[in-house]
Structure formats: structure tokens, C-alpha cells
Homo-oligomer: A and B are copies of this chain.
């Protein structure tokens, strides 16, 4: 299985970012190339000044579930920024910012966490996805 796994990270919530990061790490561990496109609130979460913090949890968490995940994040058991970093060490993982989102949100490449490899358009992203799966998170 050499097809890349591509992930569009649209959401900026810490829970969805966590899910995306474990898919990136899992696919990298399997030796699959991973290609990530950051859009809108997912892109905002990778701003350098956000330091790995997203927008909190989705509203469909139960009270107990939200408390459990919040505790796991606070203790460092769950850390999506770190999981993305580790994925890059494990395998071939590329993270690109969506060109249109950069323009709308008035962001410059220097505003982003250095883990982001560059800026990319939809056509480039779809081309690189080839016939591999694309998750929209």
C-alpha cells in the first residue's frame, strides 16, 4: 500500500485535531506517505502564536467525556501538536497551508508554526493525493 493518506484539517477543535494527528501517526507508522492540508480553523490552530492550542472541544462531547479529554490534554497524555511532530519523524508527512485560507485569514508563512512545510492550492493537494484516501476533518 503505497498510496498516500491525505487529510484536510478544516476544524480547529482540539478533539478533531487529535483525531487527525492519530491518523497521521498511524499511517506514517505503516509506511504510507501522509499529506495534510490546513484550511480555515485548522490553519488557525497552526499559527505560531497559538502554540499548539486549538479552539477547545466540539460541543457534542458529553460532560464526562469533555472532562476526560481535557484532563488527558492537561496532563500531556494527549498532545496533537506533539503527535504531528512525532509523525514527521516516523515517516513521510507533509503539512501544507491552503493558499485560499491564508489569503482570506491574511496570514503570512512566517505566522505559522515551523512544522508547516509550505502553502499549497487545492489542485496541488488533489494531484498529490493520487488515488489515496482523503479524510475531511
Q: Which residues of chain A have a CB within 8 Å of any CB of chain B?
A: 1, 3, 5, 8, 10-13, 15-16, 18-19, 22-23, 25-27, 29-30, 32, 39-41, 44, 54-56, 58-62, 64-65, 68-69, 72, 77-78, 100, 104-106, 121-123, 125-127, 129-131, 133-137
Q: Closest 4 interchain pairs by CB? A: A26-B122, A55-B60, A135-B136, A12-B60
B105:A29 contact, CB within 8 angstroms? no
A61 in contact with B40 (CB, 8 Å): yes
- A–B complex contacts, Cβ < 8 Å, 22 sampled: A10-B19, A10-B137, A12-B62, A13-B60, A19-B40, A22-B100, A23-B126, A26-B123, A26-B126, A27-B122, A27-B126, A30-B126, A41-B58, A41-B60, A41-B62, A44-B61, A44-B62, A55-B61, A55-B62, A68-B104, A68-B106, A77-B104
